[in-house]
Amino acid sequence: MIYLDYAATTPVDRRVLDAMLPYFRENYGNPSSVHRLGQKAETALEAAREKVAAVLHCKAEEIIFTSCGTESDNLALRGTMMASRKASSGTWILTAKTEHHAVSKTAEQLEKEYGFQLEWLDINEHGAVKPESLSKAICSDTALTSLMLANNEIGTINPIADLANIAKANNILFHTDAVQAAAYLDVNVEKLGVDLMSLGGHKFYGPKGVGALYVRKGAKLLPHMTGGGQENSQRAGTQNVPYIVGFAEALHLAMEEREARAAHVIPLRDRIIGQVLETIPDVQLTGHPEHRLPNHASFVFKDVDGNLLLQMLDSAGFACSSGSACKTGNPEPSEVITALGYSHDWALGSLRITLGTDSTPEHVDSFLKTLPVLVEKVRNLNQR
Ligand SMILES: *Cc1c(COP(=O)(O)O)cnc(C)c1O
Protein backbone atom coordinates (compact mmCIF):
# COMPACT_ATOMS: atom_id res chain seq x y z
CA MET A 1 0.00 0.00 0.00
CA ILE A 2 1.32 3.43 -0.95
CA TYR A 3 0.07 5.97 1.58
CA LEU A 4 -0.87 9.33 0.06
CA ASP A 5 -3.25 10.52 2.76
CA TYR A 6 -1.08 12.34 5.32
CA ALA A 7 -3.74 15.05 5.72
CA ALA A 8 -6.07 12.42 7.20
CA THR A 9 -3.48 11.22 9.67
CA THR A 10 0.23 10.45 10.02
CA PRO A 11 2.09 7.53 11.60
CA VAL A 12 3.60 8.21 15.03
CA ASP A 13 7.29 9.15 14.71
CA ARG A 14 9.54 6.54 16.34
CA ARG A 15 11.19 9.24 18.50
CA VAL A 16 7.73 10.39 19.65
CA LEU A 17 6.73 6.86 20.58
CA ASP A 18 9.98 6.41 22.54
CA ALA A 19 9.27 9.60 24.48
CA MET A 20 5.76 8.39 25.34
CA LEU A 21 6.43 4.82 26.45
CA PRO A 22 7.78 5.45 29.99
CA TYR A 23 4.53 7.21 30.94
CA PHE A 24 2.35 4.14 30.44
CA ARG A 25 3.95 1.67 32.89
CA GLU A 26 6.82 3.22 34.86
CA ASN A 27 5.75 6.81 35.43
CA TYR A 28 2.02 6.25 35.42
CA GLY A 29 1.17 8.67 38.22
CA ASN A 30 -1.73 11.11 38.19
CA PRO A 31 -0.30 14.63 37.81
CA SER A 32 -2.79 15.90 40.41
CA SER A 33 -1.55 13.47 43.10
CA VAL A 34 0.55 14.81 45.96
CA HIS A 35 2.99 11.86 46.16
CA ARG A 36 6.23 11.52 44.22
CA LEU A 37 4.77 9.36 41.45
CA GLY A 38 2.22 12.10 40.85
CA GLN A 39 4.87 14.79 40.97
CA LYS A 40 6.88 12.93 38.35
CA ALA A 41 3.87 12.91 36.02
CA GLU A 42 3.25 16.57 36.77
CA THR A 43 6.85 17.41 35.93
CA ALA A 44 6.50 15.63 32.56
CA LEU A 45 3.19 17.37 31.91
CA GLU A 46 4.59 20.82 32.67
CA ALA A 47 7.74 20.14 30.62
CA ALA A 48 5.47 19.23 27.69
CA ARG A 49 3.53 22.46 28.20
CA GLU A 50 6.78 24.48 28.16
CA LYS A 51 7.88 22.69 25.00
CA VAL A 52 4.60 23.53 23.24
CA ALA A 53 4.74 27.13 24.49
CA ALA A 54 8.28 27.50 23.08
CA VAL A 55 7.06 26.49 19.61
CA LEU A 56 4.04 28.81 19.84
CA HIS A 57 5.98 31.72 21.41
CA CYS A 58 3.51 32.02 24.26
CA LYS A 59 3.39 31.41 28.00
CA ALA A 60 3.00 27.85 29.27
CA GLU A 61 -0.16 28.78 31.18
CA GLU A 62 -1.77 29.81 27.88
CA ILE A 63 -1.81 26.16 26.69
CA ILE A 64 -4.81 23.91 27.43
CA PHE A 65 -4.35 20.24 26.57
CA THR A 66 -7.43 18.58 25.08
CA SER A 67 -8.44 15.21 23.65
CA CYS A 68 -8.10 16.18 19.96
CA GLY A 69 -8.18 18.98 17.39
CA THR A 70 -11.96 18.73 17.28
CA GLU A 71 -12.22 19.32 21.03
CA SER A 72 -9.88 22.31 20.77
CA ASP A 73 -12.14 23.85 18.10
CA ASN A 74 -15.25 23.11 20.17
CA LEU A 75 -13.73 24.63 23.29
CA ALA A 76 -12.59 27.72 21.38
CA LEU A 77 -16.01 28.43 19.85
CA ARG A 78 -18.35 27.22 22.60
CA GLY A 79 -16.10 28.51 25.38
CA THR A 80 -15.72 32.04 24.04
CA MET A 81 -19.36 32.39 22.99
CA MET A 82 -20.66 31.18 26.37
CA ALA A 83 -18.23 33.51 28.14
CA SER A 84 -19.43 36.35 25.92
CA ARG A 85 -23.03 35.56 26.85
CA LYS A 86 -22.13 35.47 30.54
CA ALA A 87 -20.59 38.94 30.18
CA SER A 88 -23.67 40.18 28.20
CA SER A 89 -21.27 40.90 25.37
CA GLY A 90 -21.31 40.15 21.60
CA THR A 91 -23.49 37.42 20.06
CA TRP A 92 -22.15 37.11 16.50
CA ILE A 93 -19.74 34.48 15.19
CA LEU A 94 -17.96 35.04 11.88
CA THR A 95 -16.52 32.04 10.06
CA ALA A 96 -16.41 30.47 6.57
CA LYS A 97 -17.88 27.51 4.68
CA THR A 98 -14.37 26.23 4.06
CA GLU A 99 -13.77 25.46 7.74
CA HIS A 100 -13.42 21.92 9.06
CA HIS A 101 -16.70 20.53 10.43
CA ALA A 102 -15.23 20.80 13.94
CA VAL A 103 -15.64 24.57 13.52
CA SER A 104 -18.53 24.90 11.06
CA LYS A 105 -20.86 22.38 12.75
CA THR A 106 -20.07 23.87 16.16
CA ALA A 107 -20.87 27.37 14.87
CA GLU A 108 -24.13 26.07 13.36
CA GLN A 109 -25.14 24.43 16.63
CA LEU A 110 -24.38 27.61 18.55
CA GLU A 111 -26.70 29.42 16.15
CA LYS A 112 -29.52 26.87 15.98
CA GLU A 113 -29.63 25.59 19.55
CA TYR A 114 -28.08 28.35 21.63
CA GLY A 115 -29.43 31.50 19.97
CA PHE A 116 -26.17 33.01 18.74
CA GLN A 117 -25.84 34.62 15.33
CA LEU A 118 -23.67 33.33 12.55
CA GLU A 119 -22.34 34.87 9.37
CA TRP A 120 -20.35 33.08 6.66
CA LEU A 121 -17.56 35.21 5.21
CA ASP A 122 -16.87 35.38 1.47
CA ILE A 123 -14.08 33.34 -0.01
CA ASN A 124 -12.20 33.82 -3.27
CA GLU A 125 -11.90 31.25 -6.08
CA HIS A 126 -9.01 29.54 -4.24
CA GLY A 127 -10.97 29.15 -1.01
CA ALA A 128 -9.15 31.87 0.93
CA VAL A 129 -11.14 34.34 3.02
CA LYS A 130 -11.02 37.88 1.68
CA PRO A 131 -9.88 40.35 4.37
CA GLU A 132 -12.36 42.94 3.09
CA SER A 133 -15.25 40.53 3.68
CA LEU A 134 -14.20 40.36 7.34
CA SER A 135 -13.99 44.16 7.64
CA LYS A 136 -17.48 44.45 6.13
CA ALA A 137 -19.04 41.78 8.36
CA ILE A 138 -17.77 43.08 11.69
CA CYS A 139 -20.36 44.91 13.77
CA SER A 140 -20.50 46.13 17.37
CA ASP A 141 -22.10 42.83 18.36
CA THR A 142 -19.41 40.53 16.92
CA ALA A 143 -17.77 38.32 19.55
CA LEU A 144 -15.56 35.90 17.65
CA THR A 145 -14.00 35.26 14.26
CA SER A 146 -12.82 31.72 13.51
CA LEU A 147 -10.78 31.07 10.36
CA MET A 148 -8.39 28.23 9.65
CA LEU A 149 -4.68 28.66 8.96
CA ALA A 150 -4.58 26.02 6.20
CA ASN A 151 -7.40 24.05 4.65
CA ASN A 152 -7.35 20.27 5.02
CA GLU A 153 -9.28 19.57 1.80
CA ILE A 154 -7.77 22.01 -0.69
CA GLY A 155 -4.53 23.04 1.02
CA THR A 156 -5.13 26.80 0.73
CA ILE A 157 -3.39 28.97 3.31
CA ASN A 158 -5.47 31.87 4.67
CA PRO A 159 -3.82 35.28 5.25
CA ILE A 160 -4.27 34.81 9.00
CA ALA A 161 -2.00 37.66 10.17
CA ASP A 162 -3.98 40.16 8.04
CA LEU A 163 -7.33 38.73 9.11
CA ALA A 164 -6.37 38.64 12.80
CA ASN A 165 -5.19 42.23 12.56
CA ILE A 166 -8.62 43.34 11.40
CA ALA A 167 -10.27 41.51 14.29
CA LYS A 168 -7.81 43.01 16.77
CA ALA A 169 -8.43 46.55 15.51
CA ASN A 170 -12.11 45.95 16.26
CA ASN A 171 -11.57 44.30 19.67
CA ILE A 172 -12.90 40.95 18.51
CA LEU A 173 -11.45 37.60 19.52
CA PHE A 174 -9.77 35.67 16.72
CA HIS A 175 -9.49 31.88 16.67
CA THR A 176 -7.55 29.88 14.10
CA ASP A 177 -7.78 26.15 13.47
CA ALA A 178 -4.13 25.28 12.78
CA VAL A 179 -4.67 21.52 13.05
CA GLN A 180 -3.73 20.83 9.44
CA ALA A 181 -1.20 23.65 9.17
CA ALA A 182 1.08 22.85 12.10
CA ALA A 183 2.92 20.07 10.27
CA TYR A 184 4.41 22.57 7.80
CA LEU A 185 3.72 26.17 8.78
CA ASP A 186 5.01 28.47 11.48
CA VAL A 187 2.54 28.46 14.37
CA ASN A 188 4.08 31.42 16.22
CA VAL A 189 1.02 33.09 17.79
CA GLU A 190 2.84 36.42 18.12
CA LYS A 191 3.46 36.57 14.38
CA LEU A 192 -0.02 35.29 13.57
CA GLY A 193 -1.62 37.70 16.05
CA VAL A 194 -4.34 35.25 17.06
CA ASP A 195 -6.10 34.97 20.45
CA LEU A 196 -6.92 31.28 20.21
CA MET A 197 -5.36 28.47 18.16
CA SER A 198 -6.22 24.76 17.86
CA LEU A 199 -3.71 21.96 17.31
CA GLY A 200 -4.09 18.19 16.97
CA GLY A 201 -1.28 15.69 17.51
CA HIS A 202 -1.92 13.11 14.81
CA LYS A 203 -1.52 15.50 11.88
CA PHE A 204 2.19 15.99 12.67
CA TYR A 205 3.43 12.49 13.52
CA GLY A 206 2.08 12.57 17.07
CA PRO A 207 -0.56 10.27 18.54
CA LYS A 208 -4.29 10.46 17.81
CA GLY A 209 -6.61 11.56 20.60
CA VAL A 210 -4.61 14.51 21.92
CA GLY A 211 -4.74 18.20 21.08
CA ALA A 212 -4.08 21.63 22.48
CA LEU A 213 -5.78 24.99 22.53
CA TYR A 214 -3.78 28.17 22.89
CA VAL A 215 -5.77 30.86 24.72
CA ARG A 216 -4.19 34.30 24.99
CA LYS A 217 -4.07 35.52 28.59
CA GLY A 218 -7.15 37.64 29.23
CA ALA A 219 -9.34 35.92 26.61
CA LYS A 220 -12.32 34.54 28.53
CA LEU A 221 -13.53 30.95 28.11
CA LEU A 222 -16.38 29.17 29.84
CA PRO A 223 -15.14 25.57 30.25
CA HIS A 224 -17.19 22.85 28.51
CA MET A 225 -15.73 20.08 30.67
CA THR A 226 -16.35 20.71 34.35
CA GLY A 227 -14.97 18.67 37.20
CA GLY A 228 -11.54 18.79 38.81
CA GLY A 229 -9.43 21.89 38.46
CA GLN A 230 -7.08 20.53 35.79
CA GLU A 231 -5.71 22.74 33.02
CA ASN A 232 -6.13 25.93 35.03
CA SER A 233 -9.79 24.99 35.61
CA GLN A 234 -10.38 25.45 31.87
CA ARG A 235 -10.65 21.77 30.95
CA ALA A 236 -11.37 19.22 33.66
CA GLY A 237 -10.26 15.60 33.49
CA THR A 238 -7.04 13.78 34.37
CA GLN A 239 -4.48 14.67 31.72
CA ASN A 240 -3.40 11.97 29.25
CA VAL A 241 0.26 12.26 30.24
CA PRO A 242 1.86 9.87 27.69
CA TYR A 243 -0.10 11.36 24.80
CA ILE A 244 0.64 14.92 25.91
CA VAL A 245 4.34 14.08 26.14
CA GLY A 246 4.11 12.64 22.60
CA PHE A 247 2.17 15.66 21.34
CA ALA A 248 4.84 18.06 22.63
CA GLU A 249 7.72 16.00 21.22
CA ALA A 250 6.00 15.72 17.81
CA LEU A 251 5.31 19.46 17.67
CA HIS A 252 8.90 20.23 18.68
CA LEU A 253 10.23 17.94 15.93
CA ALA A 254 7.84 19.48 13.40
CA MET A 255 9.34 22.89 14.18
CA GLU A 256 12.96 21.65 14.15
CA GLU A 257 12.54 19.77 10.88
CA ARG A 258 10.01 22.07 9.20
CA GLU A 259 12.26 23.18 6.35
CA ALA A 260 13.70 19.74 5.65
CA ARG A 261 10.24 18.16 5.63
CA ALA A 262 8.90 20.81 3.25
CA ALA A 263 11.94 20.46 0.98
CA HIS A 264 11.25 16.73 0.79
CA VAL A 265 7.58 16.99 -0.24
CA ILE A 266 7.48 20.13 -2.40
CA PRO A 267 9.13 18.63 -5.52
CA LEU A 268 6.95 15.52 -5.21
CA ARG A 269 3.80 17.63 -4.87
CA ASP A 270 4.79 19.83 -7.78
CA ARG A 271 5.36 16.78 -9.99
CA ILE A 272 1.91 15.47 -9.14
CA ILE A 273 0.21 18.80 -9.81
CA GLY A 274 2.14 19.44 -13.03
CA GLN A 275 1.65 16.02 -14.50
CA VAL A 276 -2.01 15.53 -13.55
CA LEU A 277 -2.95 18.88 -15.10
CA GLU A 278 -0.91 18.09 -18.20
CA THR A 279 -1.87 14.48 -18.88
CA ILE A 280 -5.49 14.14 -17.77
CA PRO A 281 -8.30 15.92 -19.65
CA ASP A 282 -11.01 17.91 -17.82
CA VAL A 283 -9.23 18.37 -14.52
CA GLN A 284 -8.74 21.42 -12.31
CA LEU A 285 -6.50 22.07 -9.34
CA THR A 286 -8.57 23.00 -6.27
CA GLY A 287 -7.22 25.55 -3.80
CA HIS A 288 -4.48 28.07 -4.32
CA PRO A 289 -1.73 27.30 -6.87
CA GLU A 290 1.04 28.78 -4.64
CA HIS A 291 -0.32 29.65 -1.20
CA ARG A 292 -0.97 26.03 -0.32
CA LEU A 293 0.45 23.42 2.04
CA PRO A 294 3.77 22.02 0.73
CA ASN A 295 2.55 18.40 0.86
CA HIS A 296 -0.90 18.96 -0.62
CA ALA A 297 -2.28 18.34 -4.13
CA SER A 298 -6.03 18.40 -4.76
CA PHE A 299 -8.13 18.23 -7.89
CA VAL A 300 -11.61 17.93 -9.30
CA PHE A 301 -12.26 15.75 -12.34
CA LYS A 302 -15.29 16.41 -14.52
CA ASP A 303 -17.81 13.53 -14.75
CA VAL A 304 -15.95 11.34 -12.29
CA ASP A 305 -17.49 9.57 -9.30
CA GLY A 306 -14.86 10.47 -6.70
CA ASN A 307 -15.77 7.65 -4.34
CA LEU A 308 -15.48 5.06 -7.10
CA LEU A 309 -12.11 6.49 -8.08
CA LEU A 310 -10.94 6.19 -4.47
CA GLN A 311 -12.05 2.55 -4.32
CA MET A 312 -10.22 1.77 -7.54
CA LEU A 313 -7.10 3.54 -6.30
CA ASP A 314 -7.35 1.51 -3.11
CA SER A 315 -7.58 -1.73 -5.09
CA ALA A 316 -4.54 -0.62 -7.08
CA GLY A 317 -2.63 -0.04 -3.82
CA PHE A 318 -2.96 3.70 -3.25
CA ALA A 319 -4.49 5.32 -0.15
CA CYS A 320 -5.89 8.73 -1.14
CA SER A 321 -8.89 10.78 -0.11
CA SER A 322 -11.64 12.80 -1.72
CA GLY A 323 -11.53 15.36 1.04
CA SER A 324 -15.27 14.83 1.31
CA ALA A 325 -16.62 13.22 4.46
CA CYS A 326 -19.00 10.99 2.50
CA LYS A 327 -17.92 7.36 2.25
CA THR A 328 -20.81 5.47 0.70
CA GLY A 329 -24.42 5.91 -0.23
CA ASN A 330 -25.94 9.07 -1.60
CA PRO A 331 -22.92 11.08 -2.73
CA GLU A 332 -22.95 14.76 -1.86
CA PRO A 333 -20.09 17.07 -2.74
CA SER A 334 -18.27 18.48 0.27
CA GLU A 335 -19.20 21.94 1.55
CA VAL A 336 -15.71 23.14 0.73
CA ILE A 337 -15.89 22.10 -2.94
CA THR A 338 -19.44 23.47 -3.17
CA ALA A 339 -18.32 26.78 -1.61
CA LEU A 340 -15.73 27.10 -4.38
CA GLY A 341 -18.64 27.22 -6.84
CA TYR A 342 -18.07 24.03 -8.85
CA SER A 343 -21.10 22.71 -10.73
CA HIS A 344 -22.44 19.25 -9.87
CA ASP A 345 -20.66 17.47 -12.75
CA TRP A 346 -17.32 18.62 -11.33
CA ALA A 347 -17.97 18.71 -7.60
CA LEU A 348 -18.36 14.96 -7.08
CA GLY A 349 -15.00 14.20 -8.64
CA SER A 350 -12.65 15.50 -5.99
CA LEU A 351 -9.33 13.85 -5.16
CA ARG A 352 -6.77 14.77 -2.51
CA ILE A 353 -3.19 13.49 -2.49
CA THR A 354 -1.14 14.43 0.56
CA LEU A 355 2.51 13.50 1.02
CA GLY A 356 4.73 12.93 4.03
CA THR A 357 8.06 11.71 5.37
CA ASP A 358 7.82 8.22 3.84
CA SER A 359 6.76 9.43 0.38
CA THR A 360 9.29 8.73 -2.38
CA PRO A 361 9.69 9.70 -6.05
CA GLU A 362 8.94 6.04 -6.88
CA HIS A 363 5.58 6.28 -5.08
CA VAL A 364 4.75 9.37 -7.10
CA ASP A 365 5.85 7.76 -10.40
CA SER A 366 3.75 4.72 -9.74
CA PHE A 367 0.74 6.85 -8.76
CA LEU A 368 1.07 9.05 -11.85
CA LYS A 369 1.16 5.96 -14.05
CA THR A 370 -2.00 4.53 -12.51
CA LEU A 371 -4.22 7.60 -12.07
CA PRO A 372 -4.93 8.48 -15.74
CA VAL A 373 -5.94 4.88 -16.48
CA LEU A 374 -8.34 4.78 -13.54
CA VAL A 375 -9.85 8.20 -14.29
CA GLU A 376 -10.64 7.04 -17.81
CA LYS A 377 -12.08 3.79 -16.51
CA VAL A 378 -14.40 5.63 -14.09
CA ARG A 379 -15.49 8.03 -16.84
CA ASN A 380 -16.32 5.16 -19.17
CA LEU A 381 -18.38 3.46 -16.46
CA ASN A 382 -20.17 6.76 -15.92
CA GLN A 383 -21.30 6.93 -19.54
CA ARG A 384 -22.86 3.52 -19.57
C1 LIG B 1 -7.97 16.83 11.37
C2 LIG B 1 -8.51 18.20 11.52
C3 LIG B 1 -9.33 18.54 12.61
C4 LIG B 1 -9.78 17.53 13.64
O5 LIG B 1 -8.74 17.10 14.44
P6 LIG B 1 -8.88 15.70 15.25
O7 LIG B 1 -7.68 15.68 16.13
O8 LIG B 1 -8.88 14.63 14.23
O9 LIG B 1 -10.14 15.78 16.01
C10 LIG B 1 -9.77 19.85 12.71
N11 LIG B 1 -9.42 20.77 11.80
C12 LIG B 1 -8.63 20.48 10.75
C13 LIG B 1 -8.28 21.56 9.78
C14 LIG B 1 -8.14 19.19 10.57
O15 LIG B 1 -7.38 18.90 9.52
Chain segment 260-290, per-residue pLDDT in tens: 999 999 999 999 999 999 999 999 999 999 9
Residue 98 Cβ inside 6 Å of ligand 1? The answer reads: no
Contact 65, 116 (CB under 8 A): no
For residues 92 and 119, is the Cβ–Cβ distance under 8 A?
A: yes
Q: Ligand 1: does its nearest atom lie under 6 Å from the Cβ of 313?
A: no
Ligand 1 proximity of 211 Cβ (cutoff 6 Å): yes
- pLDDT value, residue 383: 72
Q: Outline where 234-290 has alpha helix (H).
A: 241-256, 258-279
The answer to whether 49 and 63 have CB atoms below 8 angstroms apart is: yes
Helix (H, G, I), strand (E, B) or coil at 214: strand
CB of 352 closer than 6 A to ligand 1?
A: no
Cβ of residue 99 lying under 6 Å from some atom of ligand 1: no
Q: Walk me through the domains of the chain, giving residue ranges and CATH numbers.
A: 2-8+258-382 (3.90.1150.10), 14-256 (3.40.640.10)
Q: What confidence score (pLDDT) does residue 382 get?
A: 75
Please, are residues 299 and 279 in contact by the beta-carbon 8 Å criterion?
Answer: no
What pLDDT shows up at residue 329? 57
Q: Look up residue 128 and give its DSSP letter.
A: P
Alpha-carbon distances, residue 23 vs 37, 212, 228, 246 (angstroms): 11, 19, 21, 10
pLDDT of residue 323: 73
Task: Name the pLDDT band for 384 (thresholds 50, 70, 90).
Answer: low
- Give distance in angstroms: CA of 207 to centre of ligand 1: 13
Q: Coil, strand, or helix at residue 217?
A: coil
- Strand order across the 296-301 sheet: 283-285, 296-301, 350-354
- Alpha carbon of 377 to ligand 1 centroid (Å): 33
Exposed, middle or buried by CB within 10 Å (0-12, 13-18, 19+), for 208?
Answer: middle
Ligand 1 centroid to residue 180 C-alpha, Å: 7
- Hey, what amino acid is at 344? H
Q: Mean per-residue pLDDT for 114-134?
A: 97
pLDDT per residue over 23-77, tens digit each? 999 999 999 999 999 999 999 999 999 999 999 999 999 999 999 999 999 999 9
| Catalytic status, residue 139 | no
Confidence of residue 169 (pLDDT cuts 50, 70, 90): very high
Q: How far is the CA of 256 from the centre of ligand 1 (A)?
A: 22
pTM as predicted: 0.97
- End-to-end C-alpha distance for the chain, whole angstroms: 30
The pLDDT value recorded for residue 327 is 56
pLDDT at residue number 89: 97
- Mean pLDDT score of the chain, rounded to an integer? 96
pLDDT tens readout for residues 329-368:
567 888 999 999 999 899 999 999 999 999 999 999 999 9
Counting ligand 1 atoms within 8 A of each CB, the residue from 65, 176, 177, 251 with the most, and so the one to mutate, is 177
Q: Tell me the three state secondary structure of residue 111.
A: helix
Nearest ligand 1 atom to alpha carbon 201:
7
